Structures are given as structure tokens and as C-alpha cells.
């Protein structure tokens, strides 16, 4: 008799953003007269840049003609894109990453959820707290996290690294030694970053303890300060312990276009087994490549015109971040993040917990944000706002929030 | 200390089509003067139909304008596409499938590899032999298949259902009772089909034994005979035991566009747990939706113009199938399939095994096919040819093969 994977039943409630979306829809239905402003999910609002649109039209045309039609893509990605990535993101910053260390995918969310498959089920993961929910949930589904304690909001087999105000909302090295360490810098949800020297300590720690770091650099394009690393491979020894996840969603607005990539250096072996070879096998068996059109769109991200247009787009969102951060700080809110990241991490007011503040903000200001507690227990009492709205909406939302304090 | 998922190391050799590709590349490099014809991988050669190209251009334009830009898609797919699927593939054939039973994805390969996650690790799978390698390999990676015996080419915990000449190269009900049954009709690789009455027996068996059928209908568009079912939901009781996988790769040439969907009826529960809800949770956590542009392309598949153009495209490939089947049969080869499927299943000549015949065909005729043994032990001594080449190449390949016998 068939049996289900019981681990799914251990997941508490539904996915964070589904709940946020549901509450928003209910509010809209009940208040059709109100203009709701979403500073919640990390979805972008600016259209795809012209250089990328041109590349997509061109590749759509190619698909309509027998001579230039493309069927199955190479499992790991077209060389034109992998080569553009190597040059644009790594060689240009002095890092020596080879084309066959790049794996193109349909996005960093899928990769961050699937990467755990490469590891044994009894490995112990460490995550920041708060954290992007996918890291933990994908490990819950695989059966790696033990039992859930509703009182603490924690799993028995997960090592939590609290991101607290006193350490700038970045995680600290854990007391217990993990096997797999998830790091996200610039951080989602807190917007925190660390310096190259600080990241080097993590790399040294992982190499010493024989742990693997899964480094989520989805927000790399938002880095504005010189001593913040753009890639973990800027650190010595990182190729021996770190996998890097990258996204096109936030630097190029590809949330609905779907493209990302993962870097697994060939030097990263465990007991002689190459993680690069394992991931290649996974791609070959369980994935069929990103669409040709989308890979050409990705290539255009690295073109001269694409770069210039996207620099403007990122500046647009970072101006929103400034509007949020400075506006709320002036009004008396306690805020952090927003300098090297499109996220602002906000302390709730009036002693409200995160979901109370969510409801309060929705009801009093028709503004949707994301409850910090949805990202982990240490997020309780905090709230995430994103800079991905339009400028006009962002200004309006902050004006409304100023009146609440 | 981190440990890898040992199950990956159990996989014998590389993915079948990677090996075929490697041998082909080596042959081309050694014989630059020869025109190699590929009738191997199931990749299409006809360009995307005009109605679909138009829809893609239109949606690319939408992505370039703020007012019509689309970010994250709904996790389970846009309603416009799910609704077109329900109407075009199910309601039109008298089946009552609801929109929220359709899950849009980046392709049937991913879905067929990921679907096993919903089940317990000690469940036993049954597969046809020969079979599309992804069903078994994805279960190997999860640790569900036991140990591999190189002598037999079989896994200790997998139930094999031989597809032999005496049963028309379709699998027979297994002697041992499985928990999960993979069925593919029209069949890849043998091109076999079964009637509605025969499929009803499988559904009744699954319901009686409380097993789940994973029904891969990727080649549905190639069905030409009236009593061959287009969907497992044409059978009574199938909604209680069957998941159906569908692809746009072969009916619309989307191998490089990437789109598929999975149907999980809400009536399909195991011990009160809904597989539909589990798959929705998986999509929400581990996937981020198919690209908007690609979903609009999928919608155009169901438009009046799209349907008419694709009917022609399928007819083109089925004419190739006829060329292969009749040509080879006349020459004295033993062939089957090709009537309701784009695959021709060929007995090797001269007592050669499948890989020997592969090398022979490549060296003597510069034709690339796929060794039957790569799909499972009962495929030994057989060879798969596909109808997805161009008409001209197909005719030429068959002329060359005629001279070999």
C-alpha cells in the first residue's frame, strides 16, 4: 500500500508568502475603495530593460524558423550564457571560476530548495534566524530537521544562528558545529551585510570543521559599499567549501522570466566525491535546462546596453530603499538594512508582535509588508519592507506610515 | 562533518542520452566529411508554430512596459493557461478535471523526476522494462531502489514489468504488488499503446491494491486510433489512484521552450492526506512558476490557429514515423510502434546487442539512434528510432539503413 512522505505533514501552516497574499486578498475584497500598497513580497515592479526585450524578441524569431530553431538546451546551460556569467560576475572581479562550474537554472529559489538533495539525510543544517523560509522548509520535506516545537518555532535538528540587533542583524558563528551552513548576504530578510574579512572567518570555519556553506548571493547587485563582498569566492579557500547561488530576479527584474545559476567549484569534494559532478548528474536527470529565450535574455543582462539600463533600475529601487529608511527613521521608527540590500528591517511599534503589526499596517495604512516572525523566531517583533515598489507608491506608503507613529 | 547523499554514487554510468551524445560528438570529430543523421534523442526539429511565436512576441512586449509587466507568476500556473488546459485536454473529451487539479511546470521531465518526493522512502516502485530512465534514476537518487546488480541491470527494490514482443511491447500487470506504478502510454521507448479497456484494468488493479499510478502521457498528441485513451481519466476510478503527467514538448515542439503540467485530482488521497495539497505545497516551496512568456505560448497551443498549425506539425512527424516503419519493414527489419507514437522500436540485426548495433549504425550509415538496453534489460537487442527528424533526413537515413540488411 502506498504511503506518503510524512515529512510534508510536519510543515507548520502554509508558506509564508501564501498567507500574506491571502490576507491581502481578503482585505482588498472587504475594502474595494482602498488603494493597497505592497511592500511585502520581493517582487519587482519595473519592466524588463529594453536591451533584454530586444534579445528576447530576436530569440523568439529564431525559434520560429527551422534553421535557427533550438530544441533541448544543454542540461547545464548554453555556453554563451555561462561564459557571459564567468566574465561578468567573476573574472571581472578577479575570481577564477570556470564555465563548467556554472549551472544555469530556472531560479535561485529552485536551486536553494534542491541543493540539499546532494547531502546525507543525517546532516545537520545551520540557518540564520530569521531566514528565507525555503532553506528550512526544503530540509523539512527531506526529513533532515527533526521535530517542530510550536512553542519556540524551532526544529530539533536545526542549528539556529540568531540575527540580532547587537550584531547588526547578521548571524554569528554557531556554538554547535553544523554540516551545512546557509548564509545569505546581502541578507534576506534583514538587509544586513558583512565585510570581506568577516566572511573570510566563515570560510575558514567551514574549512576547519569540514562543513559546506551554501551562499545565497541573490541580492549582490544592491551592494553599494566597497568592503562588502559580491561573491564568497572573494575569500581564500572558499572554492573548497562553498556553493554560491545567484539570481537574475533582483538585478534584472526576472521574477517572471525565471533564471538563476549555481556555482559549484570543482575543488569542492567530500571524501573524494565531487559535488560539481553530483549536481551535473542531478541537472541531467531531474531538469531539462532553462528556455533558450530566457538564456538569451540572461546573456543580454551582461551586454553593454543591458548593464547600463540595469544599473539605472537598481538605482531606482535603492532610491526607494532610501525613501523608506530615511523616512521611517525621521518619523521615529527603528530601521536597519537598505544600504546594500533592497530590504528594510523594521522594529514593530507599540510592543506589537509581527503579525499584529502586519494587521495594523494593513488596516490602518493599507500597506502590506512581511511579518518578521514568518522568517524565524528571532524575527518576532520585526517587519520586512521591500524597495521593489514604484517610487510613487513607496513615497505614499511611507507618508501613510509616518502618520501612525 | 558534511556527508554526501550516497545514493547518487549508486547510479551506474552517466545518463543514457549523455553517452549517446558523447559517442556522436566523437564520431563527428573523427569523420568531419560524413553527414550524421540523428534519429536518437526525442528532440523535435520543426520550428515553433506561427500562432505561438505571435503570442510570445506579444507577451515579451508586455514584459517591457510597466503597466503590463508581470513579476512572480502564481505558483501553480496562470489561470488563463490552466483554464485552457482544462477545456482543451479534458472537458473537450468529457473528463471533469478542475482548474486547481492542474499544476503548470517547466516540463514533464522535471515533474516525472520530482513526483516521487511525495511518497515514503520505503515505497516500492514498478516500472516498465524498458523504460524512460528518469523514473528509476530519480528514485535511485532518493534511495528507494535498493542495490544495483550489474549482471542483470536491475535494482533489488524495483519491480520490473517486461515489455516483450508477445504482449506488443506493453507492460503486463506485475506479480509482486507495487506501491507506485509508472506507466507511459503512448510508450517511450517502444511506441506501444493499449486500449481504454486495457488501461481500465490497470486503474482497477491500482485501486484494489491501494497503489498510485504515475501516468506519463507526454506523447498523447500522436494517438491516431480511436480506442487508445488520451488520458487515464477516461477510465472509471482513475481520479482516486492516478497522477497524469503532460508535456508541451512533443505536441508543440517546446523542448527548448520548457512547459508541462501535472494533474493531481483532489479525490486522490492516501490515509486522508491529499496529494494535490502536497504537490501544491511543493510547488510553493521549491518552484517559482513557469515564465509568463512561456505560459502565454502554452495558451496559444489551444487557440484555433495554434491547434490547426500543430495538427500539421504532428502529421509531419507521423509521416516520418510511417517512412521509418514501412521502409524498414519492407527491407526486412523487425519493427513496431510508430502508429500512435513518434517512436519506432526496432530489433537489432545479426544478433548484435543494442550498443553494438548503435556503433554499427553510426559507423556504417552515420545514423544515430538509441540503444534499447539503455532503457532497461528487456530493451537489450532492440533499438529506438524517433520520428522527430526532418522528412528529408528521415528518408535519407532509412535509405542508408536499407542498404545494411
Interchain CB contact of A22 with B (< 8 Å): no
What's the pLDDT score for residue A185?
A: 98
Mean pLDDT value across residues A255-268: 98
- A246: cell is 545567484
| B284 contacts in chain A (CB < 8 Å) | 14-15, 18
| A255 contacts in chain B (CB < 8 Å) | 71-72, 288
DSSP label at B306?
H
Task: Compare CB distances from B5 to A47, A66, A118 and report the shortest one's residue.
Answer: A118
| A58 contacts in chain B (CB < 8 Å) | none
Q: How far apart are CA B76 and CA B289, in angstroms?
A: 6
Q: Does position A354 have pLDDT exceeding 70, yes or no?
A: yes
pTM, two decimals, is: 0.96
Model confidence band, residue A18 (pLDDT cutoffs 50, 70, 90): confident
Interface of A with B in 67-106 (CB under 8 A): 69-73, 75, 106
Task: Label residue B153 exposed, middle or buried (CB < 10 Å: 0-12, 13-18, 19+).
Answer: middle
DSSP assignment of A326-393, as one string? HHHHHHT--EEE-SSSSEEEEE-STT--HHHHHHHHHHHH-EE-EEGGGG-GGGTTEEEEES-S-HHH
Mean pLDDT value across residues B329-350: 97
The residue that leads in pLDDT, A13 or A355, is A355
Model confidence band, residue B335 (pLDDT cutoffs 50, 70, 90): very high
What's the pLDDT score for residue A239?
A: 98
Task: Compare CB distances from B138 to A8, A285, A294 and report the shortest one's residue.
Answer: A285
Q: How far apart are CA A390 and CA A30, in angstroms?
A: 24
Whether residues A4 and B133 touch (CB distance < 8 A) is answered with: no
The residue that leads in pLDDT, B18 or A98, is A98
| A209 contacts in chain B (CB < 8 Å) | 1
DSSP assignment of A47-81, as one string? PPPHHHHHHHHHHHHHHTSTTT---SPPTT--HHH
How many A/B residue pairs have CB atoms within 8 Å?
248
The vertex-B275 CA angle with B270 and B278, nearest 5°, equals 125
Interchain CB contact of A3 with B (< 8 Å): yes
Whether residues A71 and B284 touch (CB distance < 8 A) is answered with: no
Instruction: Of A39-48, A138-147, A381-390, B168-177, give the lowest mean pLDDT range.
Output: A39-48
For residue B344, give the 3-state DSSP assignment: strand
DSSP assignment of A89-149, as one string? IIGGGT----GGGEEEES-HHHHHHHGGGGB-TT--EEEEES--HHHHHHHHHHT-S--EE
Identify which of B49, B76, B78, B50 has the alpha carbon closest to the alpha carbon of residue B62.
B78
* Cα A197 from chain centre: 22
Q: What is the CA radius of gyration of chain B?
A: 21
Interface of B with A in 294-353 (CB under 8 A): 294
Identify which of B119, B131, B118, B84 has the alpha carbon closest to the alpha carbon of residue B104.
B84
For residue A188, give the 3-state DSSP assignment: coil
Q: Does position B286 have pLDDT exceeding 70, yes or no?
A: yes
Give per-residue pLDDT as tens, A209-218. Answer: 999 999 999 9
* Cα B321 from chain centre: 17
Task: Compare CB distances from B5 to A3, A14, A117 and report the shortest one's residue.
Answer: A117
Q: How far apart are CA A271 and CA A269, in angstroms?
A: 6
Identify which of A17, A39, A55 has the alpha carbon closest to the alpha carbon of residue A254.
A55
Q: Does position A42 have pLDDT exceeding 90, yes or no?
A: no
Interchain CB contact of A288 with B (< 8 Å): yes
Model confidence band, residue B84 (pLDDT cutoffs 50, 70, 90): very high
The pLDDT mean for chain A works out to 96
Task: Label residue A120 exposed, middle or buried (CB < 10 Å: 0-12, 13-18, 19+).
Answer: middle
Instruction: Tell me which H or E stretch contains B370.
Output: strand B370-371
| B56 contacts in chain A (CB < 8 Å) | 60, 63, 293
Q: Does position B404 have pLDDT exceeding 80, yes or no?
A: yes
Q: How far apart are CA B267 and CA B99, in angstroms?
A: 14
Which residues pair with residue B39 across a beta bridge? none
Model confidence band, residue A251 (pLDDT cutoffs 50, 70, 90): very high
Whether residues B141 and A285 touch (CB distance < 8 A) is answered with: yes
Length of chain B: 405
| A141 contacts in chain B (CB < 8 Å) | 117, 282, 285-286
Backbone φ and ψ for A79, nearest 5 degrees, come out as -65, -35
Task: Compare CB distances from A72 to B43, B278, B291 and report the shortest one's residue.
Answer: B43
Task: Compare CB distances from B4 to A60, A258, A270 and report the shortest one's residue.
Answer: A270
Instruction: Tell me which H or E stretch contains B402.
Output: helix B391-402
Q: What percent of chain A has pLDDT over 90?
A: 94
What's the pLDDT score for residue A14?
A: 65
Interface of A with B in 192-231 (CB under 8 A): 209-212
| A271 contacts in chain B (CB < 8 Å) | 3-4
Contacts of B319 (CB under 8 A, 6+ apart): B391
Q: How far apart are CA A5 and CA B290, in angstroms?
A: 25
- How many of the other CB atoms lie within 10 Å of CB of A202? 23
DSSP assignment of B72-85, as one string? SPPTT--HHHHHHH
The vertex-B309 CA angle with B307 and B314, nearest 5°, equals 90
What's the pLDDT score for residue B174?
A: 95
Residue A186 preceded by cis peptide, ω within 30: yes
What's the pLDDT score for residue B14?
A: 66
Instruction: Of B149-153, B287-291, B396-400, give the lowest mean pLDDT range.
Output: B149-153
Q: How far apart are CA B178 and CA A177, in angstroms?
A: 41
Tell me if A6 sits within 8 A of A356, measured CB to CB: no
Amino acid at each position: 500500500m502506498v504511503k506518503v512522505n510524512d515529512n510534508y505533514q510536519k510543515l507548520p501552516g502554509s508558506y509564508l508568502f501564501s498567507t500574506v497574499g491571502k490576507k491581502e486578498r481578503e482585505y482588498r475584497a472587504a475594502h474595494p475603495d482602498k488603494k493597497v500598497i505592497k511592500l511585502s513580497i520581493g517582487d519587482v515592479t519595473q519592466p524588463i530593460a529594453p536591451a533584454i526585450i530586444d534579445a528576447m524578441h530576436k530569440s523568439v524569431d529564431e525559434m520560429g524558423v527551422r534553421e535557427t530553431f533550438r530544441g533541448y538546451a544543454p542540461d547545464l546551460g548554453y555556453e554563451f550564457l555561462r561564459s557571459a556569467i564567468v566574465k561578468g560576475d567573476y573574472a571581472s572581479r578577479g575570481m577564477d571560476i570556470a564555465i563548467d562550474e556554472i549551472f544555469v537554472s530556472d531560479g535561485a529559489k529552485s536551486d536553494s530548495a534542491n541543493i540539499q538533495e546532494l547531502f546525507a539525510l543525517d546532516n545537520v543544517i545551520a540557518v540564520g534566524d530569521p531566514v528565507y523560509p525555503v532553506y528550512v522548509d526544503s530540509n523539512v520535506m527531506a526529513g533532515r530537521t527533526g521535530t517542530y516545537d510550536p512553542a519556540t518555532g524551532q526544529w530539533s535538528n536545526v542549528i539556529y544562528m540568531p540575527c540580532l540587533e547587537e550584531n547588526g542583524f547578521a548571524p554569528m558563528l554557531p556554538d554547535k558545529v553544523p554540516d551545512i551552513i546557509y548564509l545569505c548576504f546581502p541578507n534576506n530578510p534583514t538587509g544586513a551585510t558583512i565585510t570581506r574579512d568577516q566572511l573570510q572567518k566563515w570560510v575558514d570555519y567551514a574549512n576547519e570543521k569540514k562543513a559546506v556553506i551554501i551562499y545565497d548571493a541573490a541580492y549582490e547587485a544592491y551592494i553599494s559599499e566597497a568592503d562588502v563582498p559580491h561573491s564568497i569566492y572573494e575569500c581564500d579557500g572558499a572554492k573548497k567549501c562553498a556553493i554560491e547561488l545567484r539570481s537574475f530576479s533582483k538585478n534584472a527584474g526576472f521574477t517572471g522570466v525565471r533564471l538563476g545559476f549555481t556555482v559549484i567549484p570543482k575543488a569542492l569534494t567530500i571524501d573524494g566525491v565531487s559535488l560539481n559532478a553530483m549536481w551535473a548528474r542531478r541537472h541531467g536527470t531531474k531538469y531539462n535546462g532553462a528556455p533558450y529565450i530566457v538564456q538569451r535574455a540572461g546573456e543580454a543582462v551582461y551586454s553593454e546596453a543591458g548593464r547600463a539600463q540595469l544599473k539605472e533600475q537598481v538605482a531606482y529601487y535603492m532610491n526607494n530603499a532610501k525613501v523608506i529608511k530615511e523616512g521611517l527613521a525621521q518619523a521615529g521608527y527603528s530601521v536597519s538594512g537598505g544600504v546594500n540590500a533592497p530590504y528594510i528591517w523594521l522594529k514593530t511599534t507599540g510592543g506589537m508582535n509581527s503579525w499584529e503589526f502586519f494587521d495594523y499596517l494593513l488596516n490602518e495604512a493599507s500597506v502590506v509588508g512581511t511579518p518578521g516572525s514568518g522568517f524565524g523566531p528571532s524575527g518576532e517583533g520585526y517587519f520586512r519592507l521591500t524597495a521593489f515598489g514604484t517610487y510613487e507608491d513607496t513615497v505614499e506608503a511611507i507618508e501613510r506610515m509616518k502618520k501612525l507613529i
